[in-house]
Amino acid sequence: MSDGQTLAVILAVGAAAYAMRAGGFLLGSLLPQDGALPRLLRLAPGNLLAAFTAAAIWEGGVPSLCGALASVMVMAVSRREWAALAAGFAAAAGAASLR
Protein backbone atom coordinates (compact mmCIF):
# COMPACT_ATOMS: atom_id res chain seq x y z
CA MET A 1 0.00 0.00 0.00
CA SER A 2 1.44 3.37 -0.97
CA ASP A 3 1.65 6.39 1.31
CA GLY A 4 -1.19 8.06 -0.57
CA GLN A 5 -3.47 5.07 -0.10
CA THR A 6 -2.56 4.87 3.59
CA LEU A 7 -3.38 8.53 4.05
CA ALA A 8 -6.68 8.10 2.20
CA VAL A 9 -7.65 5.18 4.45
CA ILE A 10 -6.75 7.15 7.59
CA LEU A 11 -8.80 10.13 6.43
CA ALA A 12 -11.76 7.92 5.47
CA VAL A 13 -11.77 6.20 8.86
CA GLY A 14 -11.51 9.56 10.62
CA ALA A 15 -14.40 10.98 8.58
CA ALA A 16 -16.53 7.92 9.31
CA ALA A 17 -15.78 8.13 13.03
CA TYR A 18 -16.62 11.84 13.09
CA ALA A 19 -19.86 11.26 11.14
CA MET A 20 -20.93 8.49 13.52
CA ARG A 21 -20.21 10.63 16.58
CA ALA A 22 -22.00 13.67 15.14
CA GLY A 23 -24.94 11.48 14.11
CA GLY A 24 -25.13 10.05 17.61
CA PHE A 25 -25.27 13.53 19.12
CA LEU A 26 -27.96 14.59 16.67
CA LEU A 27 -30.08 11.50 17.28
CA GLY A 28 -29.52 11.78 21.03
CA SER A 29 -30.92 15.30 21.06
CA LEU A 30 -34.16 13.95 19.56
CA LEU A 31 -34.71 11.43 22.39
CA PRO A 32 -37.18 12.25 25.18
CA GLN A 33 -35.54 13.48 28.38
CA ASP A 34 -37.74 11.48 30.77
CA GLY A 35 -39.14 7.98 30.78
CA ALA A 36 -37.83 4.45 30.55
CA LEU A 37 -35.55 4.84 27.51
CA PRO A 38 -33.37 7.61 28.96
CA ARG A 39 -33.04 5.67 32.24
CA LEU A 40 -31.99 2.56 30.30
CA LEU A 41 -29.41 4.51 28.31
CA ARG A 42 -27.97 6.03 31.49
CA LEU A 43 -27.53 2.52 32.93
CA ALA A 44 -26.00 1.03 29.76
CA PRO A 45 -22.33 1.95 30.41
CA GLY A 46 -22.32 0.17 33.77
CA ASN A 47 -24.07 -2.86 32.32
CA LEU A 48 -21.59 -3.03 29.46
CA LEU A 49 -18.64 -2.77 31.82
CA ALA A 50 -20.03 -5.60 33.94
CA ALA A 51 -20.66 -7.77 30.87
CA PHE A 52 -17.17 -7.22 29.43
CA THR A 53 -15.58 -7.85 32.83
CA ALA A 54 -17.55 -11.05 33.38
CA ALA A 55 -16.65 -12.32 29.90
CA ALA A 56 -12.96 -11.57 30.46
CA ILE A 57 -12.97 -13.30 33.85
CA TRP A 58 -14.74 -16.31 32.36
CA GLU A 59 -12.22 -16.50 29.52
CA GLY A 60 -9.21 -16.02 31.82
CA GLY A 61 -10.27 -18.60 34.37
CA VAL A 62 -9.05 -18.81 37.95
CA PRO A 63 -6.14 -16.35 37.63
CA SER A 64 -8.46 -13.68 36.24
CA LEU A 65 -11.00 -14.31 38.98
CA CYS A 66 -8.31 -14.04 41.66
CA GLY A 67 -7.02 -10.80 40.15
CA ALA A 68 -10.49 -9.30 39.91
CA LEU A 69 -11.39 -10.23 43.49
CA ALA A 70 -8.10 -8.88 44.82
CA SER A 71 -8.48 -5.60 42.99
CA VAL A 72 -12.07 -5.15 44.18
CA MET A 73 -11.09 -5.86 47.80
CA VAL A 74 -8.09 -3.49 47.72
CA MET A 75 -10.17 -0.79 46.04
CA ALA A 76 -12.89 -1.14 48.68
CA VAL A 77 -10.35 -0.81 51.49
CA SER A 78 -7.87 1.74 50.13
CA ARG A 79 -9.89 3.67 47.51
CA ARG A 80 -6.68 3.89 45.46
CA GLU A 81 -6.84 2.79 41.84
CA TRP A 82 -3.13 2.11 41.49
CA ALA A 83 -3.05 -0.03 44.62
CA ALA A 84 -6.03 -2.03 43.37
CA LEU A 85 -4.44 -2.42 39.94
CA ALA A 86 -1.15 -3.63 41.44
CA ALA A 87 -2.93 -6.05 43.77
CA GLY A 88 -5.01 -7.43 40.92
CA PHE A 89 -1.99 -8.00 38.70
CA ALA A 90 -0.04 -9.58 41.57
CA ALA A 91 -2.91 -11.89 42.52
CA ALA A 92 -3.48 -12.94 38.89
CA ALA A 93 0.24 -13.58 38.37
CA GLY A 94 0.43 -15.56 41.64
CA ALA A 95 -2.58 -17.67 40.74
CA ALA A 96 -1.24 -18.28 37.23
CA SER A 97 2.13 -19.39 38.60
CA LEU A 98 0.44 -21.98 40.83
CA ARG A 99 -1.32 -23.69 37.91
pLDDT in tens, 31-73: 888 888 888 878 888 888 899 999 999 999 999 999 999 999 9
Q: Is residue 95 part of a domain?
A: no
Secondary structure element (H or E) that encloses residue 83, with its range: helix 81-98
Q: Is residue 44 part of a domain?
A: no
Asked, for residue 11, whether it belongs to a domain, the answer is yes
Total domain count, the chain: 1
Q: What is the average pLDDT score of the chain?
A: 92
Domain-embedded: residue 13: yes
User: For residue 59, how far is the Cα from the chain centroid?
Assistant: 16
**Of 80, 76, 46, 74, residue with least CA distance to 66:** 74
pLDDT attached to residue 1 = 78
Q: Which domain holds residue 15?
A: 1-30
